[in-house]
Amino acid sequence: MTKQEQAQEYFRKGYNCSQSVFAAFCQDLGMDLETGLKLSSSFGGGMGGLRQVCGAVTAMFMIAGLKYGYIDSQDMNLKNQHYKLIQNLAKQFTDKFGTVICKELLMSLANIKKDVSMPEKRTPEYYKVRPCERFVVYAAELTEKMLNSR
């Protein structure tokens, strides 16, 4: 099963966007699934339902940090390299969907006008209306490419 398929499967099981992407890569990160799910649980719904940065995008950033992040606060070269990586991931996502902001993604791609800040039950209707599954799959694809290219 590909990372995209794994992320999609987690999403279909009811995990949020961030958890779905992050969980697909837990084994690659040397992290147990329970820890990964807990760590990423706060970022669904664009940061805990605030509709800010998409949870799938946040998961990409967390994975990039765990794999390639810096620890020397004085190494400006490493900081710059890491920020460029994050900005590149954001640009690729934005090039495909127009933004990394959850609320804008929902409004432009699903015409969802109401501000839903709490998780919704996953029903067949939910999956028909919400474009989130596409974001999860694409974020997993970008993450896999990032990990395979370094």
Q: Which of 133, 114, 128 is nearest to 16 (CA)?
A: 133
Q: Where are the alpha helices (DSSP H) in the chain?
A: 3-12, 17-24, 26-29, 33-40, 44-47, 55-68, 76-97, 102-110, 124-129, 132-148
Residue 14 corresponds to which tokens in the numbers above?
Answer: 């009811």
Give residue 122's pLDDT: 74
pLDDT in tens, 52-80: 999 999 999 999 999 999 999 999 999 99
Domains held by the chain: number = 1
Q: Is the pLDDT of residue 117 over 80?
A: no
Quote the CA–CA distance of 82 and 146 in Å, as a whole number. 12
CA–CA distance from 70 to each of 12, 86, 117 (Å)?
34, 13, 33
| pTM score, whole prediction | 0.92
pLDDT class of 120 with cuts at 50, 70, 90: confident
pLDDT class of 135 with cuts at 50, 70, 90: very high
pLDDT in tens, 84-104: 999 999 999 999 999 999 999
Could you tell me the residue range of the domain that residue 47 belongs to?
A: 3-148
Q: Is the pLDDT of residue 123 over 90?
A: no
Query: If you ran DSSP here, which 8-state letter would residue 134 be given?
Result: H
Query: Which position has the token pair 């805990």?
Result: 48
CA–CA distance from 62 to each of 18, 38, 39, 67 (Å)?
10, 13, 10, 9
Give residue 9's pLDDT: 97
**Which residue pairs from 107-114 have beta carbons closer than 8 angstroms and sit at least 24 positions apart in sequence?**
109/134
pLDDT in tens, 9-63: 999 999 999 999 999 999 999 999 999 999 999 999 999 989 999 999 999 999 9
